[in-house]
Amino acid sequence: MSLKIRLARGGTKKRPFYQIVVADARSPRDGRFIEKLGTFNPLLAKDNEGRVVLDLERSKHWLSVGAQPTDRVLRFLDVAGVMNREARNNPDKGKPGEKATQRAEEKAAKLAAAEELKNAPKVVEAPVEEAAAEEAPAAE
C-alpha cells in the first residue's frame, strides 16, 4: 500500500480549508484517510501562525515508514525543517507559444515596412505643364 501525505479539502464554496492527512494513494481526495496530521487555511495571512498547523512528530514517523508528501505538503515540511525541497526550474514556461511567436514576427515585419516607407527618400516630380512651359521659352 502506497501512502501519501496530502491535503483533503473541506470548507464551503469559495472558502477553502484543508486537512493535512495520511491516506492510501488510491483513496479519493476527500475520502478515507488513515490519520490527520494538521490543517492548512489559505485564507489566513502568510505570516499567521494558524495558517499551517502540523504535527511534526507524526509527520516524521509517516515519512520514515515510506509515505510520500505531495508538492504542497512538501513545501510545508520544508518550511518546518523536516524535509528539503529543491526549487524547480522551468525556463520554457515563460516563452510564448508558436502562434504568439508568428504574430510577433508578422507585427515586426509590418513595423519594419512602415518604417522603411517613412524613411525612404521622397521624390518630388514637377507637374507636366510646368515642365513643358520651361522647355518652350528655351527653344525660341
Strand ranges of the sheet holding 68-69, from the earlier edge strand across to the other edge: 52-54, 35-40, 15-24, 3-12, 68-69
Q: What is the pLDDT of residue 123?
A: 67
Residue showing cell 509515505: 67
Strands (E), 1-140: 3-12, 15-24, 35-40, 52-54, 68-69
- CATH number for the domain running over 3-80: 3.30.1320.10
Amino acid in position 23: A
| Grid cell digits, residue 114 | 512602415
Total number of residues shown for the chain = 140
In this prediction, the residues of the chain whose per-residue pLDDT falls under 50 are 139-140
CA angle (7 as vertex; 5, 9 as ends), nearest 5: 155
pTM for the whole structure: 0.64
Query: Rounded to an integer, what distance in angstroms lies between the CA atom of residue 100 and that of residue 108?
Result: 12
